Amino acid sequence: MDEALRERIKTTIESHRVVLFMKGNKNFPQCGFSAQVIGLLKQNGAEFRDVNILADADLRTGLKEYSNWPTFPQLYVDGQLVGGCDIVTSLNESGELKTLLGAKAS
Amino acid sequence: MIEPAEVERLLMARFGDAQLELVDLTGTQDHYQARIVSSAFSGKSLIEQHQLVYGALGSAMSGAIHALALKTYTPEAWAKTSGASDGRSLT
């Protein structure tokens, strides 16, 4: 991955406290897993930035390498990868998601 | 598309002691659900556990498998789940 792409990914991840890289956008998710994560974020009252990776092939390819994570959606909080749909669902069930989303950036 | 047996082979090659349950969700050999119980997950965060699984599947994740619903457990964590207390076995 070239440096410009890596820098662009980093800037995007840090542009908002909570960033969701997804298929489609928050109003029109184009994948059931992305839709599920959006539902959980809304349910927990989170404000988040959505990034449609279907509209950006470089970003889509680059993110997989950047995060060592091959699938979407990918949720980032405070610049850190939290996980995909399964992990976000697990964290919601345990109550950890609310804590994570509510915590202030250190 | 990838044969279930091949997915199992890749996972068991990495997680030798694992209890594995693999389901082809759509019957099309590209949407899978996997439940993996392995001591290899001990001391690792959920995200690290899933990254281990993705690592084991390698290039299969970027093409052959379109979706993988994943649940990972250490043997200790699995023992505490309702699935285990129901007496259900993974194998």
A4 backbone dihedrals φ, ψ, rounded to 5°: -60, -40
Structure confidence at residue B67 (pLDDT): 87
User: For residue B72, which of B58, B85, B56, B87 has the smallest C-alpha distance?
Assistant: B56
pLDDT exceeds 70 at position B82: no
Q: What is the pLDDT of residues B17-64, one digit of tens each?
A: 899 999 999 999 999 999 999 999 999 999 999 999 999 999 898 889
User: To the nearest whole number, what is the mean pLDDT of chain A?
Assistant: 93
- Shortest distance between the Cα of B72 and any Cα of chain A, in A, equals 10
Strand partners, A58: none
Structure confidence at residue A106 (pLDDT): 44
Domain that holds residue B51: 4-78
Q: Does residue B60 belong to the interface with chain A, where contact is any CB pair within 8 Å?
A: no
Write the single-letter amino acid at A82: V
Q: What is the pLDDT of residues A58-79, one digit of tens each?
A: 999 999 999 989 999 999 999 9
Chain B neighbors of A70, CB-CB under 8 A: 54, 61-62
User: For residue B55, which of B10, B2, B9, B6 has the smallest C-alpha distance?
Assistant: B10
Write the single-letter amino acid at B78: W
Structure confidence at residue A105 (pLDDT): 47
Tally of domains within chain B? 1
User: For residue A52, which of A80, A21, A31, A77 has the smallest C-alpha distance?
Assistant: A21
Q: Does residue B71 belong to the interface with chain A, where contact is any CB pair within 8 Å?
A: yes
CA atoms of A16 and A32, how far apart (whole Å): 24
Structure confidence at residue B85 (pLDDT): 56
Fold held by A3-101: Glutaredoxin (3.40.30)
Structure confidence at residue B81 (pLDDT): 83
Q: Report if residue B52 sits inside a domain.
A: yes
CATH number of the domain that residue B16 is part of: 3.30.300.90
Q: Report if residue B85 sits inside a domain.
A: no
Within A14-84, residue ranges assigned H as helices are 32-43, 57-67
Structure confidence at residue B88 (pLDDT): 55
CA atoms of A75 and A13, how far apart (whole Å): 9
Query: Which among B47, B57, B73 is the top mutation candidate for probing chain A, defined by the most A β-carbons within 10 Å of its own β-carbon?
Result: B47
Q: What is the SS3 assignment for B67? A: strand
Any idea which residue has 């994948």 for tokens? Answer: A31
